[in-house]
């Protein structure tokens, strides 16, 4: 999703290596795409035997819809995108 927004000049690629990548874009380009769930996001994350996680790991995608609704359309947001592979 973020790469598509960059190509459409609606987001800026701030770099990264997939663990994570960073982008920034105005809320008007993001909120409608996020509240329904990020594209291709797994509802429940996979945890394999060799993975190391803390007690803060929730194991699923969380969307704070209240915070999303409070964003003004011109507000710039930071996108932290992780490679789920």
Q: How does pLDDT run across 8-31, given as a tens digit for each residue?
A: 999 999 999 888 999 999 999 999
Mean pLDDT (the chain, rounded): 88
pTM for this one?
Answer: 0.74
Tell me the three-class secondary structure of the chain, residue by residue: CHHHHHHCCCEEEEEECCCCEEEEEEHHHHHHHHHCCCCCCCCECCCCCCCCCCCCCCCECCCCHHHHHHCCCCCEEEEEECCCC
Q: Is there a contact between 29 and 23 (Cβ–Cβ < 8 Å)?
A: no
Rounded percentage of the chain residues whose pLDDT exceeds 70: 98
Band (3; pLDDT cuts 50, 70, 90):
confident
| Token pair listed for 32 | 């409608």
What are the pLDDT digits (tens) for 61-77? 888 889 999 999 999 99
């Amino acid at each position: 999703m973020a790469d598509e927004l960059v190509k459409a000049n609606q987001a800026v690629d701030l770099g990264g290596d997939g663990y994570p990548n960073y982008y920034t874009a105005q809320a008007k380009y993001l909120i409608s795409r996020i509240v329904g769930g990020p594209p291709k996001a797994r509802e429940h994350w996979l945890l394999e035997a060799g993975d190391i996680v803390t007690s803060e790991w929730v194991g699923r995608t969380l969307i704070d819809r209240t915070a999303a609704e409070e964003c003004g359309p011109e507000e710039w947001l930071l996108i932290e995108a992780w490679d789920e592979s």
